[in-house]
Structure 1
Amino acid sequence: MEFIRIQSIDNPLFRSMHDLMKEVFPPEEVLEYSLWKEPLEDPGIRVFVAVHEGKVVGTTEYRYYDDFQVAMTDFTIIGQAGLGIGRFLARKRWDDLQALAAASGKPMLGMFAEIYDPYRIEGHAFGGVKPMDPFVRREVLSHLGYKRLGFSYVHPSWENDGEAVAELDLCFLPTDEDQTELQAKLVVNFLKRYYAVLANKPKSWHEMIEALEQKNNLSLLPL
């Protein structure tokens, strides 16, 4: 299996990747095809596909903020069971992030991810791919060490229509697995940076940020 970076919408592998995203994710979680041009060309956004026998069978997007010393996993898609795609992507991503952190001269504190709450997203089949089932994914990510941040989370729809998406939890994978809290200021700064690209944010998102700004630390809870 190959781990190949995509840096242009003209790369034929990108069409396959985008089709896989539309097959697996709800519409509000998928950025429109042409709007990918700038993100793919951004050196800070790392988009990779897993290619098996010439076919895109998985993909992941992530980024590293060296000033915050944290990473963010935007998404991971496993397109087929029985190939070890999830482990392959997780290992390759972690190796790449460790190299980016080393190059920055500062250690990585951990990695954020938005993780579906299976009890709030029951109506979506995720393309019928069983490894993408929210119950399965949540348990796998718990095994990897992700923890849920202790607050009610919403995020702006990637359709940039001002709607709130509330079926996910914001989670964090600390490099120190005994860590039980995370600075609220770090979470606020990260979310403001991450969603700066979306102009139309719902009122509930702004209210969430304002509430977080009043806190010192946030609990890291079991998934």
Structure 2
Amino acid sequence: MEFIRITSIEDPLFRSMHDLMKEVFPPEEVLEYSLWREPLEDPGIRVFVAVHEGKVVGTTEYRYYEDDQVAMTDFTIIGQAGLGIGRFLARKRWQDLERLASESGKPMKGMFAEIYDPYRVEGHAFGGVKPMDPYVRREVLSHLGYKRIDFTYVHPSWENNGEAVEELDLCFLPTDEDETAISAALVAKFLRRYYAVLANKPQAWEAMVDGLEGKETLALLPL
């Protein structure tokens, strides 16, 4: 299996990747095709596909903010079961992030991820791919070391329509697995930076981030 970076919407592998995203994720989680041009050309956004026998069978997007020493996993998609795609993507991503942190001269504190709450998304089949089932994914990410950040989370729809999406938790994978809290200011700063690309943010999101800026720390809870 190959781990190949995509940096242009003209790359034939990108069409396959985008089709896979539409197959697996609900519409509010998928950025429209043409709007991918700038993100793919951004050196700070890392989009990779897993290619098996010439076919895109998985993909992941992530980024590293060296000033704050944190990463963000935007998404991970496993296209079919039985190939070890999830482990392959997680291992390759972590190796790449460790290299980026080493080049920055500062250690990585950990990695954010938005994780579906299966009790709030039971109606979505995620393309019928069992490894993408929210119950399975949540347990796998728990095994990897992710912890739920203790606050009520909403995020702006990627359809940029101002709607609030409420079926996810914001989680964090601390490099030090014994960490039990995270700076609320760091979480707020990360969210403002991460969602700066969306012009239409719901009021519920603005109120949430404002509230975080008034706190000191947030507990990291079992997922």
Fold shared per TM-score above 0.5: yes
Provide the C-alpha distance between the structure 1 equivalents of 2:182 and 2:98, rounded to a whole number of angstroms.
20
Provide the C-alpha distance between the structure 1 equivalents of 2:203 and 2:5, rounded to a whole number of angstroms.
36
What residue in structure 1 maps to residue 53 of structure 2?
53
Provide the C-alpha distance between the structure 2 equivalents of 1:129 and 1:120, rounded to a whole number of angstroms.
18
| TM-score normalised by structure 1 residue count | 1.00
What residue in structure 2 maps to residue 80 of structure 1?
80
What residue in structure 2 maps to residue 162 of structure 1?
162
Taking the TM superposition and a 5 Å limit, the aligned residue runs for 1:147-158 are 147-158=147-158
Q: Secondary structure at the match of 1:161?
A: coil
Provide the C-alpha distance between the structure 2 equivalents of 1:79 and 1:212, rounded to a whole number of angstroms.
36
The one-character-per-residue Cα deviations of 1:85-111 (angstroms, maximum 9, x if unpaired) are 000000000000000000000000000
Provide the C-alpha distance between the structure 1 equivalents of 2:209 and 2:53, rounded to a whole number of angstroms.
45
Provide the C-alpha distance between the structure 1 equivalents of 2:134 and 2:29, rounded to a whole number of angstroms.
15
| TM-score normalised by structure 2 residue count | 1.00
Unaligned runs of at least 5 residues, structure 1: none
The one-character-per-residue Cα deviations of 1:65-92 (angstroms, maximum 9, x if unpaired) are 0001000000000000000000000000
The one-character-per-residue Cα deviations of 1:168-208 (angstroms, maximum 9, x if unpaired) are 00000000000000000000000000000000000000010
The Cα shift of 1:214 comes to: 1.1
Structural RMSD (CA): 0.3
When the two structures are aligned, how many residues end up with a matched partner? 223
The one-character-per-residue Cα deviations of 1:121-149 (angstroms, maximum 9, x if unpaired) are 11100000000000000000000000000
What residue in structure 2 maps to residue 110 of structure 1?
110
Q: Aligned AA for 2:163?
A: E
What residue in structure 2 maps to residue 126 of structure 1?
126
Identity %: 83
Provide the C-alpha distance between the structure 1 equivalents of 2:68 and 2:121, rounded to a whole number of angstroms.
31
Structure 1 runs, 4 residues or longer, greater than 6 Å off = none
What residue in structure 1 maps to residue 172 of structure 2?
172
Taking the TM superposition and a 5 Å limit, the aligned residue runs for 1:198-213 are 198-213=198-213
